[in-house]
Structure 1
Amino acid sequence: MSDNDTSEFCPLETVDDFNNSTNTTNFAYGLGANIVAVLLYGSSAVPVKKIETGDGVFFYWVSCAAIWVVSMLGDLVLQSPKFYPLAMLGGAIWATGNIAVVTIIKAIGLSLGILIWGSFSLLMGWTSSRFGWFGIAVQDVPRPLLNYCGAGLCLLSGLIFFFVKTDVQLHPKKESIPLLIDRMTNSGSYRPRSSEFWIDAIGTKNRRFIGCLLAVVVGLLYGFCFVPILYIQNHSTCKGSIFYGASVYDIDYVYAQNCGIFVASTTYFTIYCAVMNSKPRIYSRAILPGFLSGLMWSLGTYCWFLANNYLNSLITYPIVTAGYGVVAALWGSLVFQEIKGFTNCSIFLLAACVGMTGTFLSAFSKF
Structure 2
Amino acid sequence: MILKLSNGDTVNYPFAVMESDGRISEVEAFVKKTAKMLQVQLEVVDKKIGSEIGSAKKELAKKIEERSVALEEELKKLDAKTEDLGKSLNDLKDMGLLTKDEFESFKNDLKKRKGSSGNDEDVSLDEIGALAKEIIEKEIERHAADGLGRVDYALAAGGAKVIAHSEPFVSGKASNWFAVGKDRGRIHSNAKKMLEPSFGEPGQCFALQGTSGYVDIRLRTGIIPEALTLEHVSKSVAYDRSSAPKDCVVSAWFEESEVPEHHQVLTKFSYDLEKTSAQTFDVDTTINSVVNVVRFEFTSNHGNPSLTCIYRFRVHGYEYNKPHLEDSNSLEEAENAGLQ
Query: Please, what TM-score do these two structures have when normalized by structure 1?
Result: 0.19
Larger RCO, structures 1/2 (Cα 8 Å, 6+ apart): 1
Instruction: Considering fraction of residues, name the structure with more helix.
Output: 1
Pick the structure with greater CA Rg: 2
Instruction: Considering fraction of residues, name the structure with more strand.
Output: 2
